[in-house]
Each structure stands twice: as structure tokens, then as C-alpha cells.
Chain A
Amino acid sequence: MSVIDTMGPPQKSGSVLGWLRRNLFSSIGNTVLTLVAAYLLWLTVPPLLNFAIFDAVWTGETREACLGEGKGACWPLVWANFGQFIYGRYPESEIWRVNIVFALGFIALVPMLIPSAPAKRFNVIFLLVVYPLIALVLLAGDRPGLPPVPTSEWGGLLVTLVVAVTGIVVSLPLGIVLALGRRSSMPAIRMLSIIFIEFWRGVPLVTVLFMASVMLPLFLPEGLSPDNLLRCLVGVALFSSAYMAEVVRGGLQAIPAGQYEAARAAGLSYWQTMGLVVLPQALRHVIPGIVNTFIGLFKDTTLVLIVGIFDVLGQVRAQLSDPNWTVPQGALTGYLFAGIVFWIFCFGMSQYSSFMERRLNAGRGR
């Protein structure tokens, strides 16, 4: 082999053919992979598109519209039950309350998510303290002249969001306390934190929910028996606190010892050091981790249906057994719809999380 190989002319970079040759057919092995991949696509994509779009039934008032050979997804089933999927059995005349809660949450959340929006501190306080209280009063009613709506009538997306938001609102402060406890120099507090965290992380959420729904009432005084949803909320909150604690601990570990030493040299107390120096940095590091925990929590919300609470998935399942809408392709349609709903929420959140990650890294790269 000579030292200087003769080189061919540079490949024409702009053309489609050149791109194809470089990315799909550069070698025999690569060509085989391309063919395998194309076969996989051909196996999955056309049937899916046919079912969901081309052969699907789009309009109709009753199940008869969806019956017959060769018909795909039965979308009228979804249109007809849309209200249930979002509000559950919440009384129709009171639905405006749920809508206000949704709207308020949206209005408070959007500036929170935009890094450059002002008044972040008030925004956080509103979102984590004021908003949950307003939402509770509006949804449950019974206080300022609003007729009460028992939680057994809540359902659908409303329950999904209530469980997920409660989980995050409680788990964030509790998780921070637990993470600090786990890194504390006091052995008793450290041990208790470790036991708490490892216990909740070591058991499946299903058993936590079972515990909350069948075992918790036995541990509370007679008469003080919280309703099923509240019990599940307690279980979910404790469960997610343990995961949040580990996320926060990761952030705490990333803070160099010099920060602690400098704070102590400046005469700050433990709580001042943590509150003013360490936590603001640590939490900023773990925003993506917090978002990921929230995504996990949002998906785990579906498990409440195992103890008889109807979230989006539970509500979809309930409507599938409705005799007015029993069609052969009902299950596929319903789960496809629920899948799309969850996918939009979770994908949106994960995109936001990676946007934040890039943003935070961009600052460090200077």
C-alpha cells in the first residue's frame, strides 16, 4: 500500500442519490440492514395507518356505524364518550368548575415553563401552594356555596391530573427533606431517611396502592376513614417522595465541597447554607430529573384503576364495556386513543426536559 492513496473525486453531497448511497447503501451489510428495516416498516406502518385512518369510521351516532367487515378504528365511540374520558362522572352542571381548574393551571404553568418569564418566585409559590388549594375547593366544593362533588364521581383526565399533580406537589418538598436527611451527619436521621427511601423504592406501586386502599383504614381511628382517592393520593405521594429524594440527592452530590465550606466560612447556619447556597444550585441541576420523575408518575397514575378509581385509562376501559358501544374493534380504538393522549403528554414533557438540559448545559459550556 502506498502512503498516498489516489483519492476519487469528492462525492457530490447535495444529491438525493448520494445521500441514499452514504446513509443506506454504503456497504453490503448496510444494504441488508436497510432492507430488513424497510421490511419491518412495511409490516407495521401500513396496517396501522389503514386501521387508524383509511379504513376507520369517522362519523356516526351509534355502534351500528362501526359494524361490518373490514372497518377500522371506531372513532364515533371516542367522540360519544369524550366527556367521560375527561371528567368521569362529574355532574354536568358543575363541569365549569373543572374547566376553571384546568384553565388556571394552564395559565400558571406556561410562564413557569418559559425560562425568561419574570416573577418565577411568585409563580412557583402560586403553583405549588395557592393553586392546589383553589383547585381543591373548586373541585370538592362544599365550602363557599358550591355543591359538594364526592371524589367517587371524579374520573378521566381530571383524576389523572389530580393524582399526578398531588404527587409532584407533595413529593418535591418531602423529597428535598429526605435527601437532606440522607446526607445528614446525624446517624439516627440518616438511618431513618435511608429506611424510608429504600422501603418505598423497593416495593411496586401496585402493592402501595393495595396497602393504601385495604390496609390504611385499619391503622386509622374509627370514623376517620378517608375516601378511596385520598388514600391513594397518600400512597402515591409517599411513593414518589422516595424517588424524588434520590433525584435531589444526585443534585446535592454534584455541589462541590467548596460551596459548603465557603458558606460556613461566611458564617451561615445549616439551613441558610442549604436554602441560600446549596439547594438553589442542586435543584437547577436536577430539573430534568424532576421532569422525568413527573413523567414516570404521570404514567403510573394509570395504576389507580386497580383499586377502583377511574383515571383516563380506567374510564376508557369502563366505556368499552358499555353495551351501546360494544364493537369488535372497540378495544383497539379505545386503547389507541388513550395511548395517543398519554403519548402527547409524556412526549411533550420529555421534550421540555431535554430542552432544559440543553439550556442548562449551554450555560456551562462558555
Chain B
Amino acid sequence: MQKPVKRGSGMGISWYNPRVRSIVYQAGVLAAVIAVVWFFTATAQENLERLNISTGFGFLDTTAGFGIIQTLIPYTEQSSYGRAFLVGLLNTLSVAVIGIVLSTMLGFVVGVARLSPNWLLSKIAAAYVEVMRNIPLLLQLFFWYFAVLRPLPGPAESIEALPGVFLSNRGLILPDPVLDAGAGLFFGALAAAVVAGFVLVRWARARQRATGQLFPALRVAATLIVVLPLLAWAIGGTPFHLEYATRGDFDFSGGVRLLPEFVALVLGLTLYTAAFIGEIVRAGIQSVDRGQGEAAAALGLKDSTTLRLVVVPQALRLIVPPLTSQILNLTKNSSLAVAIAYPDLVAVFAGTVLNQTGQAIEVIAITMAVYLTLSLATSLAMNWYNARIALRER
């Protein structure tokens, strides 16, 4: 709403000149903000001196002296606070990425199930959404961690859900995939197939645009991705085998161990977020006009083709922006880890490190900066994707 202002219209420097008024308002607000910031900074400096709290980021290099129960990079008690920060950050990212993938998949299933003509299935999906959405996430995390996972029996009486998959109060134990001699060839073939498939699809699309000739690129690419690795398997031998964990009296040996804290956090975040994503997916699909499907049918498109080329692309336009904010929410909500002692960024850094060093301002500022960066980066990436698939009007 830019107001057109005629220059030199005789208003001059007068309160009734909107330009003058706007400058005065803005100067006033800016001055107030600067005054408040200055006041807080000055007070903080005074307080820090009085309380003898050191300032600056030098503490990042000092020895941390505490252990962390899950580390993706080498870390010992002799490592620095900076290292502890990295450990926490990686733990946050790993929970967020796994949670995003799982909740998106489950969310799509729930959203489609709610629209299913099957009465029972759609009612179950609706009940799931209403239960999960209306109970605080923190409560759900407590439920999974303190009421379900912690009271599980010890290793000796652990529940064997599937062969080699144990559930106990030590967490979820999975078989460990160990690479064999054929691994290089197998994964090389898989990567080559994916790249070839990608190139093929692009080439087919370009050719269709240029000449109108169709090429079943997707089908060929899918076949490549299945057949090439299988060939590699046949030539080079098995790529990996599963090493099953053995159950001891007090603990397991071997296998991959997922901590109960990690399992509870991923489970809670996934189930909670999936309910919201389910609603977004349902709204997106419902927003596609019935006539679109009918028009596609009238053109003679198959049901699956209609879905892939007509319904889903239009639904995605409505799904992507709110899905972005759910992905952001999940990432931010992973900070609830601190309540069940999973060592994420907040628990490690804003919890333990802050308590040990007392440098509240630096620690909180770093923590917030990380989440801000993650949020802004995710929005940028999703906005870019959104702009690519957005409806292009004149």
C-alpha cells in the first residue's frame, strides 16, 4: 500500500505530510528499540561483572568432562565443549531427519486412509488423528519413555519381536548389517542404476518435449534399479549379511542398539506429526476438483495415470507449504528430548554445558542461532521447491 506522495506539493515539513509523519514514526520506533537494547546490554554487562561470569566463546575449547550416552562422532570426557556441541547437534539432526521421513510416510498413509471408501479404515484414521492431535507431545513422549519403554524387562527376559530384533529396557536391538566382499560392486551398481535412471528420465522428457515421441523411461529406470544390483549380487557374491545380536544375562552383544530415549523420541515425534501431516494430505487431495479426474477419464487416461499426472501434482501444491511448517515443527519439537534425557542439542548444550559453565547468554544464543538457521534453511529449500511446482499464472 505505497501511498503516492506528490513531491513539492506545498505540504513542506508539516505533520499533515504523510511522508514526514512516516519518518517521524519510524525514527521514534527505532529509537525506542535501540534504547531498550542498549538498556539490556548495559544491565547485562553490569550483572556479569558483579556475578563474575566470564564472557566470550573461549569456553568452547575447554574440556567438557561429562559423558554422553549417544555419540555419532568420537567423543570422550576429555573432549571440548565445542565437541559436545557438535555431538548434540548431530543427535538433533539424526532424530529430525529420521522423524521427518517416517512421519511423512505415515502421514500420507493416514491422509489417504481417511479418504478411503472403506468405512472402517477411514474411521480408524480419523480416530488416530483426533487422539494424537489433542494430546500434548511432551505427554506422549513421557508415555512412550516412562510408561512403555522403561518398564520393559531386562535383556534376559527381553521380547523378541522378530528374529534378531529384541525389545528390552536397554533399547531396541537390531541385527547389524555387515558388509561382505560383494558390497563395493553391489552398491556401485545401485548408484550407477540410480544415476542412469535419472539421466534416462530427463532425456525422455526432453525428447518428448522436442519430438513428441514417448519413451517408457520410468519403467526402464525402475527395471534398471532392480536388475543391475541383482546382477552385481550374482557376480560378486552377497553384499552384506546380518549379524544377529546374542542375548546375555545382563546385556546384549553385537547388533545395532537404539537407545530407549532415541526410540521414544522418534516414536513420539513421528506419531504426533503424522496426525497433522495426515490432515494436510487429506485437505490437499480433497481440494483437487472432481472435474479434473473426470476430465482425465474422458481423455482416456488410466486411473493410475490420472492419479500420477493430474491429481497428485495439483494436491502437492496445497500440501507442500503446510508440510514445510510441519517439518519445521518436528525439528523444533525434537528439543523436547531434554525431558527424556536424550542427548540432543538442547539437552547437551543448553542443559549440561550451561550448568557447568554458567555462560547463559553465549550458550542460549548459540542454541537459538542453530534452530534459526535450520528453520530458515528449511523454509528456503521448501520455498524453492514450492516455487518450482507452483501454479504458473500469466
Contacts and interface: CB of A to CB of B under 8 A. Distances in A.
Interface of A: 23-24, 26, 30, 33-34, 36-38, 40-41, 183, 185-189, 192, 198-199, 201-207, 210-211, 214-215, 217-222, 260, 295, 299-303, 305-306, 313, 317, 328, 331-332, 335, 338-339, 342-343, 346-347, 350
A207 B121 contact: no
Contact of A215 (B143, B146, B338, B361): B361
Contact of A24 (B48, B51, B118, B339): B118
A339 B139 contact: yes
Contacts of B151: 328, 331
Contacts of A347: 130, 134
B74 interface: no
B11 interface: no
Given A204-B346, A299-B136, A343-B134, A188 B29 contact: yes
Contacts of B346: 204, 206-207, 210
Interface stretch (B248-256, B282-290, B295-303, B328-336): B328-336
Q: Which of A199, A203, A260, A331 has the most CB of B within 10 A?
A: A203
Nearest to A32: B118
Contact of B133 (A24, A207, A350): A350
26 contacts: A37-B120, A37-B124, A38-B120, A185-B1, A185-B3, A186-B25, A204-B332, A206-B335, A206-B350, A207-B346, A207-B367, A210-B346, A214-B364, A215-B360, A218-B361, A221-B43, A299-B134, A301-B136, A305-B138, A306-B338, A328-B151, A331-B150, A332-B143, A338-B139, A339-B140, A342-B135
A335 B143 contact: yes
A313 B340 CA distance: 14
Given A302-B139, A350-B133, 12 more contacts: A30-B118, A187-B26, A189-B26, A202-B371, A202-B372, A203-B372, A207-B335, A210-B350, A219-B44, A299-B136, A299-B137, A302-B136
A33 B116 contact: yes
Interface in B338-394: 338-339, 346, 350, 354, 360-361, 364, 367-368, 371-372, 375-376
Contacts of A338: 139
Nearest to B130: A347
Given A24-B118, A189-B25, A218-B47, A317 B142 contact: yes
Contacts of A40: 124
B22 A34 contact: no
Contacts of A313: 136, 138-139, 142
Contacts of B46: 221-222
B6 interface: no
Interface in B10-61: 22, 25-26, 29-30, 33, 40, 43-44, 46-48, 50-51, 53
B375 A202 contact: yes
B368 A342 contact: no
Contacts of B143: 332, 335, 339
Contact of A192 (B33, B121, B140): B33
Closest 9 CB pairs of A and B: A346-B134, A23-B119, A204-B332, A202-B375, A299-B136, A188-B26, A331-B147, A204-B335, A206-B335
Interface string B120-157: 11001000001101111111101100111011000000
B376 A202 contact: yes
A189 B29 contact: yes
Contacts of B333: 204
B8 interface: no
Contact of A203 (B124, B150, B336, B371): B371
A221 to B, nearest CB: 5
A62 B140 CA distance: 27
Overall SS of chain B's interface: helix
B121 A34 contact: yes
Contacts of A219: 40, 43-44, 47
B367 A346 contact: no
Contact of A300 (B26, B33, B119, B136): B136
Interface in B313-335: 332-333, 335
B2 A185 contact: yes
B147 A335 contact: yes
B118 A33 contact: yes
Contacts of B372: 199, 202-203
B212 interface: no
B216 interface: no
A73 to B, nearest CB: 11
B390 to A, nearest CB: 17
Nearest to A30: B118
Contacts of B2: 185
Contacts of A203: 332, 368, 371-372, 375
Nearest to A33: B118
A223 to B, nearest CB: 11
B169 to A, nearest CB: 13
B336 A206 contact: yes
A194 to B, nearest CB: 12
Contact of B124 (A41, A204, A206): A41
B364 A201 contact: no
A218 B48 contact: yes
Given A34-B120, A219-B40, A207 B364 contact: yes
Q: Which of A37, A185, A328, A338 has the most CB of B within 10 A?
A: A37
Given A222-B50, A347-B130, A207 B368 contact: yes
B338 A34 contact: no
B1 A260 contact: yes
Contacts of A305: 138, 339
Contacts of B368: 203, 207, 211
Contacts of B53: 218
A41 B119 CA distance: 13
B15 to A, nearest CB: 13
A218 B135 CA distance: 35
Interface string B225-236: 000000000000
Contact of A34 (B118, B139, B146): B118
A41 B123 CA distance: 11
B117 interface: yes
A187 B120 CA distance: 55
B352 to A, nearest CB: 12
Nearest to B337: A206
Nearest to B365: A215
Contacts of A24: 118-120
Contacts of A199: 372
Contacts of A206: 335-336, 338, 346, 350
